Amino acid sequence: MSMELEGRVAIVTGAAGGIGRELVQGLLGAGAKVAALDIDETGLAALAARLEEEAGAGRLFTRRTDIGSYGECEAAVGEAREKLGGLHLLVNNGAVGMGVIRMDHMTDLVEIHEIAPDAWDRFVAVNLSGAWYMTRAAIEGLLGQGWGRIVNVTTSFFTMLRGRFHPYGPPKAGLEAMSAGHAKEFEGRGVTVNVVVPGGPADTPMVPAESGIDRASMVPPSAMAPPVLWLCSEAGGAWTGHRYVAGRWDASLVPAAAAEGCRAPIGWPDLARNPVWPGGKPPE
C-alpha cells in the first residue's frame, strides 16, 4: 500500500457517515493522521472501535463537533493541530440530508410550506457555512506553511437545481461557488481547493430506504476515496479549482489518467463569459 500521505494531518467532517468513514479509512491507509469530526458521537465511537487498532497509536482523533457553529469549528481545528501535530488536509464532507425534512422526500418531493424557517437556516449553517467555518479556522495555518489541500464535497448540478429538493440543493450550489472563489483566492500560495462529488445517489444513510432506489445501482461510498486521496497527494497538488466525479474514476488507469477522466472546472464558468462590465471583462 502507498504511504504517500505519511507525515500529513487531515481533518474530515461528517466522518461517521457513509462517505466520511471511507475517507477516514483511506487517509489512514495512506499514512496520514486523521481528525475525524462529526456531530454523531455514537457513530464516531463506532468508527474509532473499527479503525483505531488498524491506525495504530495516536493516528486517529475523534471529536464531536457541530460544524454549524464557528466556535466549535475553531476549537476542533485547534485540538486537531495540538493532538496530531499540524494540519495539511481539510475535507469538508459533513452535511445534513433531506431525510431531516421527510424520509420519503424522493418519491414525494418536498414543498416550500413543509420547510420550517429554522430547518432552512440549519441546512445553510451546516451544508454551506460549515465548510466556510472550517476553512476560515484552518486557512491561516495552511497559507502560513505554504502547503494545504481543501476538498469540498458538493453534489450533482441536477440536485442543486432540482425543484422541490430544498433546502438541500441551494446551499450545495453556494458551496460550489465558494470553492471556486477560494481556489482563486489561495492560488499560487500552496493551497489547492477542489470539489469531489459521487456523481449520483451514493449508497449511504443520506439516501433512505424510502427513496425506492435500487441500492446496488448507487455509487458506492468507497468510490470517493481515490480522487480525494489523489488530490491530497503531491501529484494532485498541481490542480486547483476543479471538480471530480468520483463515480467516473476509472481505477484501471494510473491515478493521473483516472483524474483526467473525471475532471471538469468547478461551478459554472461558461455563465461568467458574457457579463456587462465596464471595459468588457471583470478582473479575475
Tell me the catalytic residues: 168
Q: Which is nearer to ligand NAD, 87 or 131 (CB)?
A: 131
- In the complex, what is the shortest distance from the CB of residue 190 to ligand NAD, in angstroms, rounded to a whole number? 25
- In the complex, what is the shortest distance from the CB of residue 180 to ligand NAD, in angstroms, rounded to a whole number? 17
Q: How far is CA 176 from CA 137, 195, 244, in A?
A: 19, 7, 12
Contacts with ligand NAD: how many residues (CB under 6 A)?
32
By C-alpha distance, which of 96, 89, 272 is closest to 193?
A: 89
Single residue of 12, 110, 202, 223 touching ligand NAD by CB under 6 A: 202
CA distance 35 to 32: 10
Under rule CB under 6 A, residue 24 binds ligand NAD: no
Is residue 60 exposed (0-12), middle (13-18) or buried (19+ Cβ within 10 Å)? buried
- In the complex, what is the shortest distance from the CB of residue 204 to ligand NAD, in angstroms, rounded to a whole number? 3
End-to-end C-alpha distance for the chain, whole angstroms: 41
φ, ψ for residue 64, nearest 5 deg: -65, 120
Under rule CB under 6 A, residue 192 binds ligand NAD: no
Show contacts with ligand NAD in window 25-64 (CB under 6 A): 38-40, 43
254 residue type, one letter: V
Show contacts with ligand NAD in window 57-116 (CB under 6 A): 65-68, 93-97
Residue 68 C-alpha cell reads as 454549524
Q: Which is nearer to ligand NAD, 201 or 255 (CB)?
A: 201
Show contacts with ligand NAD in window 213-242 (CB under 6 A): 221
By C-alpha distance, which of 125, 137, 16, 48 is closest to 87?
A: 137
Q: Are 244 and 262 in contact (CB under 8 A)?
A: yes
Single residue of 34, 195, 206, 228 touching ligand NAD by CB under 6 A: 206
List residues near ligand NAD by CB under 6 A.
13-14, 16-20, 38-40, 43, 65-68, 93-97, 126, 153, 155, 197-198, 201-202, 204-207, 221
